[in-house]
Chains A and B, each alone.
Chain A
Amino acid sequence: MGNITAFLAMGGYARFVWPAYGLTLLVLTANVMLPLWRERALRRRLRRRHNQERA
């Protein structure tokens, strides 16, 4: 437990180190998810149009 507390405290720099890592995680994750969502929506739209044309 003491080890984890010490790790999280970052030698007193916790309020600078963790926001830096947290923000990085947030921005990098968003940059992965946004194009993937756009791709899924685009494929769905194209497939629907494709099926309509065949029908």
Chain B
Amino acid sequence: MYAWITKYASPRYAYNLACRLTPWFAWSAALLFIAGLYGGLVYAPPDYQQGDGFRIIYVHVPAAWMSLFTYMVMAGAGAAGLIWKTKVSDAVARNCAPLGAAFTFLALCTGSLWGKPMWGTYWVWDARLTSELILLFLYLGYMALQSAIEEKRTAARAGAVLALVGVVNIPIIHYSVIWWNTLHQGPTITLTGAPTMATSMLIPLLIMTLAYMCYFGAVLLVRVRVDILAQERNSTWVREVVAEAGG
């Protein structure tokens, strides 16, 4: 087990793997985005209550889901870094934060643009919106912590602890619309029940979600490989990689 982790978590191996995997994620994301945008903006019929305004769902819901998913990846990689002390898991964790913050920011902004015509306000302090805003602050706090601590290992350890403590916010966000009486609507799609949404509207949403997942994978891989290159800049293999590229 330990030998297996050491091999896959070696920066050189992870760098090569990231380089090889990036195009697969990037091309999948590009194709899924084209299909999802066509599906969401053209193919899906207007909603009987919200008209064409509901189409914001195709950028809002995937961003909101990814804001939670990215946080779990960040906390998971942080925990792996605490347990196995692997440099690569630290790199994964710290490179999740800006992406997660971007998804959270998008979820809040697109939600606000959706709230104005449907609820009559850009913002309300209800449980779902407030807990999502706290998630944004968790990401920003994590990033501030990373840049405040000079030593990378210490920064990663402190960040992992912060991320793990912040995990309590994730179920709060998820169940906020059930636990509290919120303006935000309840879940349309759940893992257990049938979705309360027409198939022609649901399929583009699922495609967009897959697109966001692949996008996240591609950008995270690029970020991690740049991070590894910078961390390992004095090692022989990085010199070889840089020299190979020519110029």
Which A residues contact B (CB, under 8 angstroms)? Answer: 7, 10-13, 16-17, 19-21, 23-24, 27-28, 31-32, 35-36, 38-39, 42-44, 46-47, 50
Contacts and interface: CB of A to CB of B under 8 A. Distances in A.
Interface string B214-235: 0100110011011001100100
Interface in B32-47: 41-42, 46
B59 interface: yes
A39 B222 contact: yes
B55 interface: yes
Contact of B229 (A19, A43, A50): A43
B238 interface: yes
B121 to A, nearest CB: 13
> Which secondary structure dominates chain A's binding surface?
helix
Given A43-B242, A50-B239, A16 B53 contact: yes
Given A20-B60, A42-B226, A47-B242, A32 B51 contact: no
Nearest to A37: B226
Interface of B: 41-42, 46, 51-53, 55-56, 59-60, 63, 98-99, 102, 105-106, 109-110, 113-114, 116-117, 215, 218-219, 222-223, 225-226, 229-230, 233, 238-239, 242-243, 245, 247
> Which secondary structure dominates chain B's binding surface?
helix
A7 B243 CA distance: 51
B106 A24 contact: yes
B52 A17 contact: yes
Nearest to B26: A32
12 contacts: A11-B46, A12-B51, A13-B55, A17-B53, A20-B109, A27-B105, A28-B215, A31-B102, A32-B218, A36-B222, A39-B222, A46-B238
